[in-house]
Amino acid sequence: MERKPRGHVKPTRSVSSNRWMHEHVTDPYVQEARKRGYRSRAAFKILEIDQKARLLRRGMLVVDLGAAPGGWSQVVAQRIGGGEHGGGRVVAVDLLDMAGLPGVDFVRADFSTDAGLAEVARRLGPGRRADLVLSDMAPNISGIGAADQARSIGLAELALDFARRFLKPDGALVVKVFQGQGFPEFLKQMRASFHDVKSHKPKASRDRSAEVFLVGRQLREDSVESTE
């Protein structure tokens, strides 16, 4: 018979959410993000990727897909001089609301809908293409592994399609993707679209997470699509 300790109380939180809470409280990136006033620990991921890939420059027009709560937009806008005279601009989109940031033009929309895509395109400006497209989009995890993986690959494909239509030919795309079913095919699509594709696993990305960030640069000529 199973023995229960005296005074056993049914846990109110699952083991995984307790683990998440413990990790969150002790995580050095969470603590450092708090110290620096960053909106999320995720900010360190794009900073690390930029350190290696040297993507961000003053004056750039950047699109941030799946931006809330705003860690990436915040540090990217700082780097490109967002909100300053002659500085750059970030067009950010998310399903969730996000508090304002200098130099960031936020769209609350579902990027997978035609209306969401059209609004992001409109905010770029007529006929304008971005210097850099970022996607940290991730689906709400349902717990059904295969379905979650398929939805995450679907979001990465949306980001790639967007880049083919709205990225400058010499621009770059940073896209989060989860390794698993559909990843090799997505990597193939990236290689077919860009001359240069590299994979990054920043230290700030948890080891047990299957996420990696692919950086594609220099769109291949036959991959540049019309913005129409």
Ligand X SMILES: C[S@@+](CC[C@H](N)C(=O)[O-])C[C@H]1O[C@@H](n2cnc3c(N)ncnc32)[C@H](O)[C@@H]1O
Contacts with ligand X by CB under 6 A lie at: 39-40, 42-43, 66-72, 93-96, 110-112, 136-139, 155
Q: How many CB atoms lie within 10 A of CB 173?
A: 28
At its nearest, how many Å lie between ligand X and the CB of residue 1? Answer: 45
Cβ closer to ligand X: 40 or 223?
40
At its nearest, how many Å lie between ligand X and the CB of residue 205? Answer: 11
- Which pairing describes strands 167-178 and 89-94: parallel, antiparallel, or unpaired? unpaired
Cβ closer to ligand X: 70 or 171?
70
Active site residue 176: yes
Which residue among the candidates 4, 35, 176, 203 is catalytic per the annotation? Answer: 176
Cβ closer to ligand X: 39 or 89?
39
Per DSSP (E only), the strands in the chain are 61-65, 89-94, 104-108, 130-135, 167-178, 194-200, 211-219
Tell me if 153 sits within 8 A of 187, measured CB to CB: no
At its nearest, how many Å lie between ligand X and the CB of residue 220? Answer: 26
Tell me if 75 sits within 8 A of 92, measured CB to CB: no
At its nearest, how many Å lie between ligand X and the CB of residue 78? Answer: 13
Which residues, 6+ apart, have CB-to-CB distance to 39 below 8 Å?
Answer: 33, 69, 70, 71, 74
Cβ closer to ligand X: 41 or 217?
41
Which active-site residues does the annotation give? Answer: 176
